[in-house]
Amino acid sequence: MSTLSKLYPSALWENFANICAIPHPSKHEAKLLAWLKDWAKQNNIDYQQDKIGNLIFRKPATPGMENRVPIILQGHIDMVPQANSDKKHDFTKDPIEPRICEDGWVRANGTTLGADNGIGGAAAMAILTAKDIQHGPIEVLLTIDEETGMTGAFGLEKGILKGDILINLDSETEGELYVGCAGGLDAVITLNYKDVPTPAGMKGYNITITGLKGGHSGMDIILGRANANKVITRLLAAATDKFGIRLASINGGSLRNAIPREATAIVTVPENKEKEFQNFCDNFYTEIKNEFSAVEPDFVLKVTAIDTPTKVMCSDCHKNIINIVFAMPNGVMRMSNSMENLVETSTNLAIVQSGNGKVEIISLLRSSVDSAKEAVGQKMAAIAQIAGADIELSGAYPGWKPNMESPILKTAMTVYKDKFGKTPEIKAIHAGLECGLFGVNYPHWDMVSFGPTICHPHSPDERVNIESVGKFWDFLVAVLANCPVKK
């Protein structure tokens, strides 16, 4: 038994501990899928795996509940792999190390925790094995590869699921019911460059940005955190004008759906301007530290002398690359007019990577308004065209339009108020829940999403509130016991 199993509810936390013990980053879920199938066999639970790899479990209604509308509980099994720079962790081989903290939260040891969406999956598993709760017919859908492209949701077969109500367990604030989400679009800009011999009289330097908080590129974008790619490019642009530095390489960020926390660039600086350059970097560090003091207290800039690289990018290529990264939109583009404090449209300049004569710039665009999302894509295409770069816009997925007359929403609101004495908040989320995609093949589904309180998913600061998990579980059980009767 895991130490987590002493928490309430025990079955949910034990399931979560088992999930943490099995590596399952996006596109590497095979071990967890195999374990889940063995788990289903051991517990005599009916299951099937569809063509894309999603797992579907089924449990009949408890006695007297056969007349209830069939419900689908849904989550995803993959997690975002992010670790602190001083943490050596192979997400394809090493288990997550969850720990119970004295402040009432569960965290991992230097990595993402995977509560997004391991807690949701663990809750669905606990429902499947529970002997003491009431519910109608249940299907559990656990999708693959949600975090890097929603592959499982895109590939879900039409008609394979029989339920009429879907409860998504992938929201991250207890006491809130979600009825809508943003759609997304990937933008990949490719820019070629030529290497040339490093001019004489130049000295090599390695510039690194670390210590930024990063976070979920949808939910945390409103917090105004610094983007490592933007910060380092800002430095490079100013240093190019002041000192004539030359760029050998630039790399930052690692995941399209995580705000980049770290970036690095190798540059050359004229030897007669080294001291001025170092003073400039010190002043730049102070400037950025002050600018983001409220949100990035641990920001670190290091400028280290290294062996001078033998080649650098040609001067025009250097300027073109810096200009296009500098010009690319990033952050909140527009707030919603229909829901207070909801981001409508945003972009995350997630990854910049150079090598072999090519730079790739990868952004994730999000919006709850499809036309606004497309307009930002067109803006990026225009910037790419001006820079002479290629751009590919792909992976588009729709948002989930709120239905305030939803029967399951009304049921959930009533149950929550009866159980906890207050009305839950009704919200949409600036993130890509799979509900928008499900609506394509299952337009009749009545959907709602809720979950426990999870802070800073997609970063090593991820944590889940223990008390909120207990409330989330009690609420889920009560909703299932009060699900609507078939008409």
pLDDT digits (tens, 9 = 90+) for 211-230: 999 999 998 999 999 999 99
Closest among 222, 230, 239 to 351, alpha carbons compared: 230
Say which of 14, 29, 78, 446 is annotated catalytic. 78
Portions of the chain given CATH number 3.40.630.10: 3-182+399-481
> Which pLDDT does position 419 carry in this prediction?
97
Q: Identify whether the C-beta of residue 261 lies closer than 8 Å to the C-beta of residue 112.
A: no
Please report, to the nearest 10 degrees, the dihedral formed by the alpha carbons of residues 292, 297, 298, 299 taken in order. Answer: 20
Distance of CA 2 to the CA centre of its chain: 27
Portions of the chain given CATH number 3.30.70.360: 185-397
Neighbours of 369 (CB within 10 A): 17
Q: Residue 292 corresponds to which tokens in the numbers above?
A: 């983001």
- To the query of whether residue 374 is one of the catalytic residues in this protein, the response is no
- To the query of whether residue 78 is one of the catalytic residues in this protein, the response is yes
Angle between helices 466-481 and 115-129 (to 10 degrees): 40
> Which pLDDT does position 328 carry in this prediction?
95
Neighbours of 239 (CB within 10 A): 24
Q: Residue 177 corresponds to which tokens in the numbers above?
A: 């019911």
Q: How far apart are CA 396 and CA 438, in angstroms?
A: 14
Can you tell me which residue has the tokens 């998990």? Answer: 469
Q: Identify whether the C-beta of residue 196 lies closer than 8 Å to the C-beta of residue 313.
A: yes
Tell me, what amino acid is at 40?
A
- Give how far Cα 240 sits from Cα of 96, 266, 452, Å: 42, 13, 48
Helix %, strand %, coil % of the chain (to 5): 30, 30, 40
DSSP symbol at 29: -
Q: Which fold has domain 185-397?
A: Alpha-Beta Plaits (3.30.70)
Q: Residue 92 corresponds to which tokens in the numbers above?
A: 């394809």
Sign of CA dihedral 353, 358, 361, 362: negative
Q: How far apart are CA 33 and CA 15, in angstroms?
A: 14
Give the start-end residues of each E strand in 403-467: 425-429, 446-449, 454-455, 463-465
Q: Residue 258 corresponds to which tokens in the numbers above?
A: 């995580």
Distance of CA 62 to the CA centre of its chain: 36
The answer to whether the predicted template modeling score (pTM) of the entire model surpasses 0.85 is no
Name the phi and psi angles at 444, rounded to 5: -85, -10
Q: Identify whether the C-beta of residue 91 lies closer than 8 Å to the C-beta of residue 25.
A: yes
Q: Identify whether the C-beta of residue 350 lies closer than 8 Å to the C-beta of residue 380.
A: no
Tell me, what amino acid is at 433?
L
Pairing of strands 463-465, 183-192: unpaired
Q: How far apart are CA 167 and CA 477, in angstroms?
A: 12
Q: Residue 149 corresponds to which tokens in the numbers above?
A: 């492209």
- Give how far Cα 111 sits from Cα of 104, 219, 374, Å: 18, 19, 34
Please report, to the nearest 10 degrees, the dihedral formed by the alpha carbons of residues 228, 233, 239, 242 taken in order. Answer: -140
Say which of 14, 29, 145, 146 is annotated catalytic. 146
Per-residue pLDDT of the chain (487 residues; tens, 9 = 90+): 679 999 999 999 999 999 999 999 999 999 999 999 999 999 999 999 999 999 999 999 999 999 999 999 999 999 999 998 889 999 999 999 999 999 999 999 999 999 999 999 999 999 999 999 999 999 999 999 999 889 999 999 999 999 999 999 999 999 999 999 999 999 999 999 999 999 999 999 999 999 999 999 998 999 999 999 999 999 999 999 999 999 999 999 988 989 999 999 999 999 999 999 999 999 999 999 999 999 999 999 999 999 999 999 999 999 999 999 999 999 999 998 878 888 999 999 999 999 999 999 999 999 988 899 999 999 999 999 999 999 999 988 888 988 889 999 999 999 999 999 999 999 998 988 899 999 989 999 999 999 999 999 989 999 999 999 999 999 999 999 999 998 8
> Which pLDDT does position 1 carry in this prediction?
62
Give the end-to-end CA distance of the chain in Å, rounded to a whole number. Answer: 44
User: Which CATH number describes the domain made up of 3-182+399-481?
Assistant: 3.40.630.10
Q: Residue 347 corresponds to which tokens in the numbers above?
A: 């972009």
> Which pLDDT does position 13 carry in this prediction?
98
Q: Identify whether the C-beta of residue 298 lies closer than 8 Å to the C-beta of residue 243.
A: no
